């Protein structure tokens, strides 16, 4: 499809006219209509990128990268010249850059240095329907900025299906442009039974069935994550290999997920070899962020992996949950882009109607608000966090939880003002606890060790097969019956590394050091280095402390709602005292609810150290922290005084009807 054939093309002039007239514009168009790739180019051609750049945000890193590359191609320039991208830890822009694709988180962080975003003349918040946390925060912040910036700033929100009335009223009645899609018909086939448990097998079977029995056309299968996708790719590959030769056309199986190297992702955009069907197995990323042309069949298991945070307990859960009806419709729509298509839903009509919710709960209402509140507090906008103008409020519980944690981490003072430490934490593209640990480590003179540990913590798992070191040493088989697979020598070394008994963080450091030295030598750095690192971790993770129950080895978290939890089975060895009791205090990286509640990635702390930080956890006044106490109380008082003076009689003589 050429650019001029895209549905957005005929609307060029309307878009430019509207943007010229209004400071905020909402543009709604089907996925694939050209919003992400074309709008920025239209604006540039119309002269908007002369004074500042056109910045286009994406909720996902991969989307920012692939789209920037695509647009550079369309404009026949090298990536990083006129068109570039900026994402966490990676950027390709230059002084010539006029169009920047960047993640919403990156734009928020840029605001910390350049509060007015003076480098930009237009900001496009793309994929607004995804309602990612950072995009939602940007809604509120940019709405404010558009009104106050001297140099005019244009704000454009683009989205697939979205509640346009709600957006327009939130953005002060801004215009909404609808780009009608060129959507072919999609026949929807529901299965007779639900495949909630065996959706992977059902998806593989369905995909294979399509390949064997349906007319040519690419197939797009939605699954929930990398591990699942790898498994499906393997199973399909094996099944195809067993078929007699010439029994079907060639099949090219292409996985697509965010953690994949960019070069491999790019394969889904390359035209397929002649007469070959492509089967793309993707995460949610293919729902709206990335459009793969040529898809005629969609296989939708109706599930997605979703992270949910409970502020009261600080507990995080990662579960596979049903998608919403809006998402199901989006997924089906992916089959109707080139011709009439077909969507196979691996669930019943009843499931669609009764079990699925109408729309997805925005991330801001189910996530840890720690980082977002730190950003809001870092901006010189005098924001009362609890009373801020959110499109959908995260709720006071989540906000209060974040405020309390930021106080404990020294990012806020007791009046809710950002501290210098807080500013430095916000500038580091890390979660606040890790950032705080690194800053403490600089003071404790153990920064290299802390950097290593921070990097190791950011990896989901460091041992193969998702097992912990204790399990590996016992050489336990995993859930699939596979043995540990460590050599004699490997086990001896790992056992040696764990002798210290200082839990996960220190073991990670030891492993890295051992690897770095290339011979797993058992000469470890000085004892002092270890203890300084643990103290730095305590400063950063004072918001995630747990205390052992008296006389037994369960732990209770030291936050608002003390939660009982066990050490995760994958925890590295932690030495017990002579009475066989575990250390009184530990910090943890995450509180995870699966079958039981577990503390994951645990580091023991010395009681004396913890006693120094405990006072910070007491007597926290959240309203003062929010920044609203003085203004809100003053407003109430004024309101009350106003009532008295406006209507003095009513106050004295009750109305006749009363």
Query: Shortest gap between Cβ of 39 and ligand ADP (angstroms)?
Result: 8
Residue 294 CB, nearest approach to Mg ion (Å): 17
**Min separation Cβ 181 and ligand ADP, Å:** 9
Tell the smallest beta-carbon distance from residue 415 to Mg ion (Å).
42
Is there a contact between 83 and 44 (Cβ–Cβ < 8 Å)? no
Residue 551 to residue 447: CA distance in whole angstroms: 36
Shortest Å distance, C-beta 157 to ligand ADP:
13
Closest separation between CB of residue 364 and ligand ADP, Å?
22
- When the beta carbons of 341 and 469 are compared against ligand ADP, the nearer one is 341
Closest separation in Å from C-beta 307 to Mg ion? 23
Nearest-angstrom CA–CA distance, 289 and 331: 12
Residues 262-281 that bind ligand ADP (CB under 6 A): 269
Cα gap 590→298, rounded to integer Å = 36
When the beta carbons of 35 and 436 are compared against ligand ADP, the nearer one is 35
Rounded to whole angstroms, the Cα distance separating 433 from 611 reads: 19
Q: Which does 1 bind (CB under 5 to 8 A by kind): Mg ion, ligand ADP, none?
A: ligand ADP
Q: Restricting to residues 283-302, name those near ligand ADP by CB under 6 A.
A: 291, 293
* x-or-dash string of contact with ligand ADP, 217-256, rule CB under 6 A: ----------------------------------------
Applying the rule CB under 6 A, the residues between 507 and 566 that interact with ligand ADP are: none
User: Which residue is associated with the tokens 């109607």?
Assistant: 353
Task: Identify which of residues 32 and 302 has a Cβ nearer to ligand ADP in the complex.
Answer: 32
Nearest residue (CB) to ligand ADP, 143 versus 334:
334
Biggest distance spanned by C-alpha atoms of the chain = 97
Q: Which of residues 461-490 bind ligand ADP (CB under 6 A)?
A: none
Least CB distance from residue 343 to ligand ADP, whole Å? 18
In angstroms, what is the minimal distance from the CB of 487 to Mg ion?
49
Only segment of 25-33, 243-251, 542-550, 607-615 that touches ligand ADP (CB under 6 A): 25-33
Instruction: Compose the 56-85 pattern: x for residues touching ligand ADP by CB under 6 A, - for all others.
Output: ----------xx--x---------------
**Phi, psi at 531, each rounded to 5°:** -65, -35
Residue number with the smallest Cβ distance to Mg ion: 36
The 218-222 sheet, strands edge to edge: 186-190, 341-345, 295-300, 218-222, 276-282, 250-256
In angstroms, what is the minimal distance from the CB of 6 to ligand ADP? 6
Which token pair is 487? 């050599």
> Binding mask 26-45 vs ligand ADP (x if CB under 6 A, - otherwise)?
---x-xxxxxxxx-------
User: Pick from ligand ADP, Mg ion, none: which does 624 bind, CB < 5 to 8 A by kind?
Assistant: none
Which residues are CB-contacts of 64 (< 8 A; sequence separation ≥ 6)?
58, 85, 86, 87, 101, 102, 103
What is the H or E stretch that residue 295 is in?
A: strand 295-300
| Phi (first) and psi of residue 453, to 5 degrees | -65, -40
Binding partner selected for residue 291 from ligand ADP, Mg ion, none, CB under the kind-specific 5 to 8 Å limit: ligand ADP
The site partner of 312 among ligand ADP, Mg ion, none (C-beta below 5 to 8 Å per kind) is: none
Q: How far is the CB of 33 from Mg ion (least distance, A)?
A: 8
Burial of 155 (0-12, 13-18, 19+ CB in 10 A): buried
CA dist 277 and 253 (Å) reads: 9
Contact 278, 252 (CB under 8 A): yes
Q: Which residues bind Mg ion (CB under 5 A)?
A: 36
CA dist 198 and 480 (Å) reads 16
| Cα–Cα separations (whole angstroms), residue 68 to 8, 122, 217, 261 | 18, 16, 27, 16
- Where residue 581 falls (left for φ over 0; alpha for ψ -120 to 50; beta otherwise) is beta
CB of 31 or CB of 194, closer to ligand ADP = 31
With respect to ligand ADP, which residue has the nearer C-beta, 288 or 626? 288
Comparison of 206 and 291: residue with beta carbon closer to Mg ion: 291
CA distance 12 to 26: 14
CB nearer Mg ion, residue 36 or residue 206: 36
- Number of residues located near ligand ADP, criterion CB under 6 A: 17
Distance CA(627)–CA(629), nearest Å, equals 6
Nearer to ligand ADP, 29 or 59 (CB): 29
**Of 35 and 277, which has the nearer Cβ to ligand ADP?**
35
| DSSP SS3 for 109 | helix
Which ranges of 171-267 does DSSP label H, i.e. alpha helix? 199-213, 226-242, 262-265
Q: Which candidate, 426, 394, 372, places its Cα nearest to that of 418?
A: 426
What residue has token string 């800053």? 439
Of 320, 325, 379, residue with least CA distance to 350: 325
Residue 150 CA, chain-centre distance (Å), reads 33
Closer to ligand ADP at the Cβ: 203 or 292? Answer: 292
- Name which of ligand ADP, Mg ion, none residue 33 binds, using a CB cut-off of 5 to 8 Å depending on partner kind: ligand ADP
CA distance readout (Å), 145 to 105, 108, 116, 133, 575 = 17, 13, 7, 18, 54
Q: Judged by CB, which is closer to ligand ADP: 212, or 266?
A: 266
Smallest distance, ligand ADP to C-beta of residue 178, A: 13
Q: Which is nearer to Mg ion, 36 or 437 (CB)?
A: 36
Least distance from Mg ion to the Cβ atom of residue 290, Å: 8
Query: Applying CB under 6 A, does 6 fall inside the site for ligand ADP?
Result: yes
> What is the token pair recorded at 21?
């007239």
Which residues of the shown chain bind ligand ADP in the complex (CB under 6 A)? Answer: 1, 6, 29, 31-38, 66-67, 70, 269, 291, 293
């Amino acid at each position: 499809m050429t650019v001029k054939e895209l549905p957005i093309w005929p609307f060029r002039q309307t878009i430019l006219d509207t943007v010229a007239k209004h400071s905020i514009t909402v543009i709604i168009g089907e996925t694939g209509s050209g919003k992400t790739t074309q709008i920025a180019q239209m604006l540039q051609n119309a002269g908007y990128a002369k004074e500042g750049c056109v910045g286009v945000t994406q909720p996902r890193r991969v989307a920012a990268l692939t789209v920037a590359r695509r647009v550079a191609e369309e404009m026949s320039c090298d990536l990083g010249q006129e068109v570039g991208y900026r994402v966490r830890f990676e950027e390709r822009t230059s002084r010539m850059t006029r169009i920047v694709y960047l993640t919403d988180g990156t734009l928020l962080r840029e605001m910390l240095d350049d509060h007015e975003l003076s480098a930009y003349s237009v900001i496009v918040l793309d994929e607004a329907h995804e309602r990612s946390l950072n995009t939602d925060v940007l809604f509120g912040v940019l709405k404010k900025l558009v009104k106050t910036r001297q140099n005019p700033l244009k704000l454009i929100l683009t989205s697939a299906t979205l509640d346009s009335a709600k957006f327009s009223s939130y953005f002060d009645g801004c215009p909404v442009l609808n780009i009608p899609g060129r959507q072919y018909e999609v026949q929807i086939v529901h299965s007779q039974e639900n495949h909630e448990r065996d959706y992977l097998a059902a998806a593989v079977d369905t995909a294979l069935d399509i390949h064997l029995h349906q007319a040519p056309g690419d197939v797009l299968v939605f699954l929930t994550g990398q591990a699942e996708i790898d498994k499906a790719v393997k199973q399909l590959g094996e099944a195809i290999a067993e078929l007699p030769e010439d029994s079907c056309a060639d099949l090219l199986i292409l996985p697509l997920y965010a953690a994949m190297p960019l070069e491999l992702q790019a394969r889904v955009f390359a035209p397929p070899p002649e007469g070959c069907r492509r089967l793309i197995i993707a995460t949610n990323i293919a729902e709206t962020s990335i459009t793969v042309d040529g898809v005629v069949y969609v296989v939708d298991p109706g599930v997605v992996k979703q992270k949910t945070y409970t502020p009261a307990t600080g507990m995080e859960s990662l579960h596979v949950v049903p998608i919403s009806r809006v998402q199901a419709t989006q997924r089906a729509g992916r089959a109707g882009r080139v011709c009439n298509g077909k969507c196979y839903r691996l669930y019943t009509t009843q499931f669609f109607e009764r079990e699925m919710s109408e729309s997805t709960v925005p991330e801001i209402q189910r996530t840890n608000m720690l980082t977002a509140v730190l950003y809001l507090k870092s901006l010189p906008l005098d924001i009362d966090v609890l009373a801020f103008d959110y499109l959908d409020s995260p709720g006071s519980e989540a906000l209060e939880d974040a405020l309390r944690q930021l106080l404990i981490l020294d990012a806020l003072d007791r009046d809710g003002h950002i501290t210098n430490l807080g500013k430095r934490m916000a500038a580091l593209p890390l979660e606040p606890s890790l950032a705080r640990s690194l800053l403490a480590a600089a003071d404790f003179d153990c920064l290299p060790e802390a950097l290593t540990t921070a990097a190791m913590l950011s990896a989901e798992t460091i041992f193969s097969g998702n097992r912990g070191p204790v399990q590996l040493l016992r050489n336990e088989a995993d859930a699939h019956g596979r043995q540990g697979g460590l050599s004699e020598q490997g086990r001896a070394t790992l056992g040696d590394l764990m002798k210290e008994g200082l839990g996960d963080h220190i073991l990670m450091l030891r492993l890295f050091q051992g690897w770095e030295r290339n011979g797993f030598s058992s000469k470890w750095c000085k004892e002092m280095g270890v203890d300084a690192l643990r103290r730095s971790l305590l400063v950063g993770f004072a918001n995630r402390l747990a205390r052992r129950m008296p006389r037994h080895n369960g732990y209770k978290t030291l936050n608002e709602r003390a939660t009982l939890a066990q050490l995760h089975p994958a925890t590295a060895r932690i030495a017990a005292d002579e009475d066989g009791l575990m250390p009184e205090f530990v910090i943890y990286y995450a509180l995870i609810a699966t079958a039981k509640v577990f503390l994951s990635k645990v580091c023991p702390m010395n009681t004396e150290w913890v006693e120094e930080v405990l006072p910070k956890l007491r007597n926290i006044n959240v309203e003062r922290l929010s920044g609203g106490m003085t203004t809100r109380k003053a407003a109430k008082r004024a309101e009350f005084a106003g009532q008295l003076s406006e209507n003095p009689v009513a106050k004295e003589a009750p109305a006749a009807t009363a």
